[in-house]
Structure 1
Amino acid sequence: MRRMTMDLRFLGKVLQGALIGLGAVLPGISGGVLSVVFGVYRPIMELLSDPVHKWRTHLPELFPYMIGSAAGFLGVANLLSYVLETYPEPSVCVFVGLIVGMLPSLWREAGEQGRNVGNVILSCVTFVAMLSLLFWLQNSQNTVEPGFFSFLFCGFAFALSVIAPGMSFSTILMPLGLYTPFVEGIGHVRLEVLLPGVAGCVVTFICLAKLVNRLFERQYALMFHGIIGIVGAATVMTVPWGSFATSADAASRNLFCMAAGIVAAILLDFMNEKLACFPENETE
């Protein structure tokens, strides 16, 4: 029984990691949002902010998520590419449903150390601010020529999508014309894309992860309620609203996919709660 419980817990974490990795590569979806939804955002920030001292305690916990994320980013994304290209709106609606279905547990987690009116107001303010920023980025017509410094910026945008949940790097790069050359360059392991991209990512993590982790330690409720506002805005912008107006069939299909995502999120949350009742180090 103990062995089966541990296997289910591990497989559940790998599955969640795969969804995070898939969310990171899909246009309009943030892997950072899903890491918040699945409750691994803070451990990731803690590890990134102090890897020398945290790797021993945090790496075992995050290892299955890392396996899943790599599979989702590299393998699962390729396997699902046909489905995503053929049915883009329903696929996105499934991810929207996943996020919506996890919002209640996210709200509970945000209030673990207390909640007041100021926290709720902050959620509303960050929601409006993030919604305005994403709307502006989506409608921006500026383009940038691909090159060393632009790919350095791409690495910054990718890291920011992890540190700031809801800030999808595709949302930042697509209006600038950098998303396709960056993703293709990474996929084909082109050093002229990979090296500046990794450098921008690492520098951003070094500069911002420690700051974010310290803010969490000192202002847990404020940070988490701010993130909820960001997640909410990102979710609203991710919904393929235009596809709902094309036909009644398209709208019903999207709603069905969204409902399926919500049910899947509820089942994942239920599984996490049940497995949490079995300590990982319990004795037989």
Structure 2
Amino acid sequence: MNPLRKDDHKMNSPWWMRFGQGLLIGLGAVLPGISGGVLCVVFGIYQPVMELLANPRLLFSRPALWKPLLPVFFGGVCGFLGVARVLSVLLDKYPAPSVCLFAGLILGMIPGLLRDAGSRGSHPRDWTCLWAAFIVTILLLTGLQLARITIVPNWFWYFFCGICAALSIIAPGLSFSTLLMPLGLYVPFLAGLSSFQAGTILPSVLGALLTVILLSRVVNHLFETKYSPAMHAMTGLVLAATLVIIPFGQMSLIALLFLAGGILAGYEMDRYNARYAV
């Protein structure tokens, strides 16, 4: 039995819930500091998605794998193109409370990730993987935030943007906005996408496709053979990436309440998902 199928019960949740999860994933794909891949892990769909990317033939041989992902896909498109515009306004006017709410949703689901990570048994080395991934991610993301580099966008750099966008799904915790912002590429990249500029879209799509083709099989094999340490490391990535985006320096009472509310909502969402376990 493929180990990736342990999360199939999460695909039994109602379509509207999976659509809502897709909305949040789409938002996470474009919002600064947030990774859509993190939310894929949190919602328990990361492994099915990676399996599908690593084995495209499953589109024909296993429709039961990809059909439950359709509401997530459509929700992701809506979140990326539509709701993200609304939320970007909220982030503009109320940045700290908005980010705190989003971060709280993720933190509230960390217990569920730990439960999944230990579902096949755990070893002390698995926790070593978790804390190693946590520390490396913290150092990487804070280093990128502190860097101040200016780059003139061109075909090569938009190709690089596509690589970063794909990595934000394949390597949860690495937000493509966090990677691009220090290089001055985030705003021109989104501007080019929103205005459908071929000089932006074509190289970025090529970079994303090559990254998916080269890395998805590696990640899929890792989960098949080393599930527990891989999932513990993934949890460390998610935790570190979430803590980094919390604006501790701008924390007001309202932002703190939004963070607490997000944690509670995320925890309840995880409990709701768990009801569909078989």
TM-score by length of 2: 0.92
Q: Does 1:145 align with 2:152?
A: yes
Q: What letter matches 1:86 in structure 2?
A: K
Q: Does 1:87 align with 2:94?
A: yes
Shift of residue 267 of structure 1?
2.3
Residues 10, 276 of structure 1: alpha-carbon distance in 2 compared, 3 angstrom cutoff? farther
Identity among equivalent pairs (%): 45
Q: Does 1:253 align with 2:254?
A: yes
Distance in 1 (alpha carbons) for counterparts of 2:56 and 2:260? 39
Q: Could you say which residue in structure 2 is the equivalent of 1:3?
A: none
Residues 274, 13 of structure 1: alpha-carbon distance in 2 compared, 3 angstrom cutoff? same
Q: What letter matches 2:24 in structure 1?
A: L
Distance in 2 (alpha carbons) for counterparts of 1:207 and 1:62? 22
Distance in 1 (alpha carbons) for counterparts of 2:55 and 2:177? 27
Q: What letter matches 2:260 in structure 1?
A: A
Q: Could you say which residue in structure 2 is the equivalent of 1:179?
A: 186
Residues 163, 8 of structure 1: alpha-carbon distance in 2 compared, 3 angstrom cutoff? closer
Residues 218, 145 of structure 1: alpha-carbon distance in 2 compared, 3 angstrom cutoff? same
Q: What letter matches 2:211 in structure 1?
A: T
Q: Could you say which residue in structure 2 is the equivalent of 1:192?
A: 199
Say which SS state the counterpart of residue 143 (structure 1) adopts: coil
Of 62, 66, 70, the residue aligned with 2:69 is: 62
Distance in 2 (alpha carbons) for counterparts of 1:272 and 1:141? 41
Q: Could you say which residue in structure 2 is the equivalent of 1:157?
A: 164
Of 16, 22, 38, the residue aligned with 2:21 is: 16
Unaligned runs of 5+ in 2: 1-10
Question: Contact 2:141 / 2:244 at 8 angstroms: preserved in 1?
Answer: yes
Q: What letter matches 2:15 in structure 1?
A: F
Shift of residue 235 of structure 1?
1.1
Distance in 1 (alpha carbons) for counterparts of 2:101 and 2:198? 34
Q: What letter matches 1:24 in structure 2?
A: A
Distance in 2 (alpha carbons) for counterparts of 1:174 and 1:81? 16
Distance in 2 (alpha carbons) for counterparts of 1:129 and 1:73? 29
TM-score by length of 1: 0.90
Two-structure CA RMSD over aligned residues (Å): 1.5
Question: Contact 1:9 / 1:275 at 8 angstroms: preserved in 2?
Answer: no
Q: Deviations over 1:72-102 (max 9, x none)?
A: 1111111222212110111000111011100
Q: Deviations over 1:164-189 (max 9, x none)?
A: 00000001000000000001111111
Distance in 2 (alpha carbons) for counterparts of 1:135 and 1:52? 39
Q: What letter matches 1:261 in structure 2?
A: G
Say which SS state the counterpart of residue 239 (structure 2) adopts: helix
Question: Contact 2:117 / 2:228 at 8 angstroms: preserved in 1?
Answer: yes
Of 216, 220, 224, the residue aligned with 2:227 is: 220
Question: Contact 1:25 / 1:77 at 8 angstroms: preserved in 2?
Answer: yes
Question: Contact 2:31 / 2:88 at 8 angstroms: preserved in 1?
Answer: no
Q: Does 1:28 align with 2:33?
A: yes
Unaligned runs of 5+ in 1: 1-5, 245-249, 278-284
Q: Which runs of 4+ in 1 moved over 4 A?
A: none
Q: Could you say which residue in structure 1 is the equivalent of 2:119?
A: 112
Say which SS state the counterpart of residue 233 (structure 2) adopts: helix
Question: Contact 1:159 / 1:201 at 8 angstroms: preserved in 2?
Answer: yes
Say which SS state the counterpart of residue 153 (structure 2) adopts: coil
Give the greater-gyration-radius structure (CA). Answer: 1
Question: Contact 1:46 / 1:54 at 8 angstroms: preserved in 2?
Answer: no
Distance in 2 (alpha carbons) for counterparts of 1:147 and 1:162? 23
